[in-house]
Structure 1
Amino acid sequence: MSEADWQIQNIWLGMGITLAVFALYYIVAVISNKKTHTSADLYLAGRSIGPVVNSLAAASTWMSVATFLGVVALIQQLHLPFVYMWIQLILSVPLLVLLYGASLWRSGVYTSVHFVQMRYGRSAGYLAAVWMLLIMLMYMIGQFIGIAKVFEVLLGLPYTPSLIISALVITGYITVGGMKGATYNDAIQMVIMMVALLVPLAAILKQMGVAGYWFPPLGYGDLTDVLLERLPTFFDLKYEPRFYLALFVALTLGTLGLPQLAQRVLTSSSIRTARRVVPWFCLWVGLMFLGTYAMGFAGVYHFASIGETLTPEAADKTTLLLNLAYNPEWVSAFVIAGVLAAGVSTIAGLMIGIATVVGHDIVGSFKPEMPEIKKLRWGYVALAGTGVVSMLVSLDPPAFLITSIFWAFGLCATAVTPMVVLGVWSTRINFWGAIFGSTVSGLLYIALSPYVFPDFSIGSGLIAKLGYSVALITVPVGFILTILGSLAAERAFAGVAAGELSRAQAMVEGMHGWATVTRERYNGVQWLLILCALWVPVLIWGLQPW
């Protein structure tokens, strides 16, 4: 497939729509900048966002460019029916709010790293910060790769110039607007995404002869029989059950530790508002994920019909190729605006998350008495620096843009989620257990991934390349070591542990809204041991040869 097959012929049309959209983003950013007076405004939008706007922003942050490009590419390239994937993805924000979102809101923290620092101490906070910076950097690489691919289509430029232009433009508006600007822009971007995906997809399905084209998330079903005649194995589960369980463990539990979604909960004006984000979020994400699957399904049908096989690089452009094949160029240009919105919104959340970790959780811990104006300056420097570093790392990307994203989720589920979730619900989890569990499981995840020590990677072929299958080993190890390490340290350092337990009791009780501190609500050991026992069969299954 040549470049002429996937480039818009009228470059000015695409440029016009894209410039108009980014002009809107910059206007919102400038207006928000005028309302940013403190570090809380910069990082948490002053805790003033309502449920509908926050749900749109959370959904937009969660979508990422992988929704438009990466997952569609996997469906196209591997013929995997990814419908099952959406179920566990939609669980992410409800579980986040249920397991610790409201508790962290009460405690007044800025990020999950900030919580780790308050709960276990400064050293544990630094460890969590190191993991989080690595996780978000890998996550952001996938977004920048996708954005650069869109600029390739838009401008006909090679990958590297496309990456540099897109990174500078995006970094500029996010740095100016801060969290408030990012939140309102993310809400706008979610609306653009839904329109840019579902309306052109309806037109494509109509031209394919689909009766239910008017509701794309389900209308593609009319193509099932015809597709099965050409690809009888499309709906087969092509990998063993562990492949799908690992996807659930890595992506669902990985989301719980990611700061860009946790911060969406923390920007809410109240706990009630934060809880009301959940149903709206599920609605927006459900529509988008089902629409994405329908787009991937339509892509498989289209290229099977014309007898063409796409390379991984071309598969990443399936959404754009379908629109160029079936819709007018101006529609394709608007779809590009939707893809840009998907990538930009996630990058915004990640950049805000990294800036908060650097400016507030790291720099702020060294200089807690720093004047507010200096905190703001450090925040802006961190935002700009994040964009530049991510751009540099993205210069040599993997073939599939979704690879680095999956890897990041698995590492977060392994090294961050256990000490955050367990620290919210048990006073018996302490500094030693958190450090021990996070360090060992995190290093084990890196060692068993295919990118550092290939000879030790779990599985082979695609299973190894996607990198998240190792989560079936490392996530159980993370939970088990955090729990058993805490209980062992409690016995070994009885005097010190008693003081930490008392401090943890006051903090945990307050986080859950109890006015009177007791020693009974979150002090049990039995449920922790039961949780360890439940993870053991998962660990044993994960250790079996793939």
Structure 2
Amino acid sequence: MNANTIGMLIIMIIYLGAMVLIGILFSRKNNDTSDFYLGGRKLGPIVTAMSAEASDMSSWLLMGLPGVAYLSGCAEAGWTAIGLAIGTYLNWLIVAKRLRRYSHKANNSITIPSFFANRYRDKSNSLLAISAIMIVIFFVPYTASGFAACGKLFATLFGVPYMPAMIISAIIIVAYTSLGGFLAASTTDLIQSIIMTGALVVVLIYGVHMAGGMDAVITNAQSLKGYLSMTMSHDAATGGTTPYNGLTIASTLAWGLGYFGMPHILLRFMGIEDENKLKTSRRIASVWVVISMFIAIFIGIIGNAMTKAGAMDVLENSSQSETLIVRTAVLLSNHGFLAVLMAGLILAGILASTMSTSDSQLLAASSSISENLLQDCFGIKCTKKQSMLMARITVLVIAAISVFLARNPDSSVFRIVSFAWAGFGATFGAVMLFALFWKRSNRNGALAGMIVGGAMVFIWKFLIAPHGGLLGIYELLPAFLCSAAAIVIVSLLTAPPSQEIIDEFESV
């Protein structure tokens, strides 16, 4: 390990230590599970906005998105970003305030499963159990993708074995999450969003310089077939193109539908102290998302030009291309003490993007098991102290399973995240919208929507999409539509909700 690498490592260790310290400080504020999982609904507008978006973007922003743009150009990355930008804005505009108000009205629900159960007065606990199980099913691989990103980071940078690097990263994330809960996760997410932004800007400027200037970047992109097109995808292996037709574009835009069903984002809406400040949060979040995704895609384009200029080795597949920003940081560190400091902050930014999502996912999955399954469904009675202990143990167990799933260093962060994103969007997205905006929807319809949406993600991904052609679209779109259809059909075919439920709906 040379002096530059040691310097970057020291900066990252300081950063990780600061995150754990925040967890220790906030551990004193967790008096019960309501504080641990929802922070007592005390978040301010800035923390709400930036923690929601930092937990949303994950390592996908600094690794997955630039990696896709590097290999295939603008089409897939661009349409995905556009869909996410639209979904972000609409989620803040139409869901945030109503969910904050409704979740408090519905027996002060502190988790998404408990909100659905209280909203529909589900005494059978079927909604609670199914939604909790679905959260665990899709969050475990999502969390695993974050651990994998950390492992790739340290393995690429320091030449250490992937598994130990990944496990150590997971231990750090689990430490501050299990100690500080929701408030610690949200506060660290705010800090991490700032570091992520700085990392993107530094890599953008340095990358353009190493590629030979902006003209060289544009010239290289124009020389690659379909690279700058939004209707064709560049094929890095053959140098040819793959058409990006209207149906493919629609299915890629459907990434935006996923926002309506993301538990770790929806919890931020539920946790804000003053619902009237959500407009401020919406503006901050929307602007940050658009700018950060645009820069991330452009970094992928710049990275391709850097390889053309000989400043970086060619990255041949998605596993390699997702380390683009890591490799750029290593190059930057060769230019003196200040450059080492900046490179360390870039790498801390990648850690931040991963940790900000993993901590939120661990909390959401933990709450589903300890609160919704063990206590609500199975009737296990616990004191406040026992509930807190159970919550923390659940975080540890889920993290251990995620570490096991993340053991393969060749897995693609982008692909894992895309599947989990589809799972949440299809399982909860339509159900959430109908729960908030259609008073005729009932418990049976919501249950049908969850089951059909979750099942269709697997069916389309593994049985239908492999046939290719028009069927080879992103599984979120057909699964979301099937979920919505199931909600409407089953709700209309079964008994309407009680007057009590309708009165509560109208009061909200």
| Secondary structure of the corresponding residue to residue 95 of structure 1 | helix
Q: Is the 8 A contact 1:80 1:235 kept in 2?
A: yes
Map of 2:238 onto structure 1: none
Find out whether 1:457 has 2:473 as its counterpart.
Answer: no
Map of 1:85 onto structure 2: 80
Map of 2:421 onto structure 1: 409
Map of 1:357 onto structure 2: 368
1:200, 1:412 → 2: CA distance?
A: 32
- 1:319 pairs, out of 313, 316, 325, with 325
User: How much does 1:272 deviate?
Assistant: 1.1
User: How much does 1:502 deviate?
Assistant: 1.7
Find out whether 1:474 has 2:479 as its counterpart.
Answer: yes
The 1:90/1:436 distance shift into structure 2, 3 A limit, reads same
| Secondary structure of the corresponding residue to residue 457 of structure 1 | helix
User: How much does 1:20 deviate?
Assistant: 0.2
Find out whether 1:116 has 2:120 as its counterpart.
Answer: no
Higher relative contact order (CA 8 A, sep 6+): 2
The 1:446/1:229 distance shift into structure 2, 3 A limit, reads closer
What is the CA deviation profile of residues 435-473 of structure 1, one whole-angstrom value per residue up to 9, with x for unaligned ones? 2232233223212213xx4xx335549995xxx612332
- 1:51 pairs, out of 31, 41, 45, with 45
Q: Quick check: 189-198 or 374-383, which moved more?
A: 374-383
Map of 2:90 onto structure 1: 95
1:392, 1:233 → 2: CA distance?
A: 39
What is the CA deviation profile of residues 314-333 of structure 1, one whole-angstrom value per residue up to 9, with x for unaligned ones? 21111122333355361333
The 1:165/1:461 distance shift into structure 2, 3 A limit, reads farther
Find out whether 1:344 has 2:391 as its counterpart.
Answer: no
Q: Is the 8 A contact 2:426 2:454 kept in 1?
A: yes
Find out whether 1:295 has 2:299 as its counterpart.
Answer: yes
User: How much does 1:93 deviate?
Assistant: 3.7
Q: CA RMSD in A?
A: 2.4
Map of 2:267 onto structure 1: 263
The 1:23/1:326 distance shift into structure 2, 3 A limit, reads closer
User: How much does 1:397 deviate?
Assistant: 6.0
Q: Is the 8 A contact 1:441 1:478 kept in 2?
A: yes
Instruction: With the length of structure 1 as denominator, give the TM-score of the two structures.
Output: 0.82
2:110, 2:295 → 1: CA distance?
A: 33
The 1:8/1:443 distance shift into structure 2, 3 A limit, reads farther
- 1:385 pairs, out of 397, 409, 433, with 397
What is the CA deviation profile of residues 94-126 of structure 1, one whole-angstrom value per residue up to 9, with x for unaligned ones? 322333322232232223222111123110121
The 1:356/1:152 distance shift into structure 2, 3 A limit, reads same
Identity of aligned residues (%): 19
Q: Is the 8 A contact 1:104 1:115 kept in 2?
A: no
Matches within 5 A, 1:103-502: 103-106=98-101, 107-108=103-104, 109-120=109-120, 121=122, 122-210=125-213, 222-223=215-216, 225-236=218-229, 237-238=231-232, 239-249=244-254, 251-306=255-310, 308=314, 310-326=316-332, 328=334, 330=340, 331-366=342-377, 367=379, 370-396=382-408, 399-450=411-462, 453=463, 456-460=464-468, 469-490=474-495, 497=496, 500-502=497-499
1:458, 1:430 → 2: CA distance?
A: 35
Matched to 1:474, the amino acid is A
2:499, 2:451 → 1: CA distance?
A: 25
Q: Is the 8 A contact 2:456 2:482 kept in 1?
A: no
Q: Is the 8 A contact 1:99 1:421 kept in 2?
A: no
| Secondary structure of the corresponding residue to residue 498 of structure 2 | helix
| Secondary structure of the corresponding residue to residue 74 of structure 2 | coil
User: How much does 1:311 deviate?
Assistant: 2.8
Q: Quick check: 391-400 or 364-373, which moved more?
A: 364-373
Map of 1:24 onto structure 2: 18
2:356, 2:249 → 1: CA distance?
A: 27
Map of 1:63 onto structure 2: 57
Q: Is the 8 A contact 1:428 1:501 kept in 2?
A: no
2:471, 2:331 → 1: CA distance?
A: 32
Map of 1:540 onto structure 2: none
Matched to 1:477, the amino acid is C
User: How much does 1:24 deviate?
Assistant: 0.8
User: How much does 1:376 deviate?
Assistant: 1.6
Instruction: With the length of structure 2 as denominator, give the TM-score of the two structures.
Output: 0.88
Find out whether 1:41 has 2:35 as its counterpart.
Answer: yes
User: How much does 1:150 deviate?
Assistant: 0.6
What are structure 1's unaligned runs of at least 5 residues? 1-6, 211-219, 491-496, 513-546
1:469, 1:340 → 2: CA distance?
A: 28
Alignment: residue pair count = 479
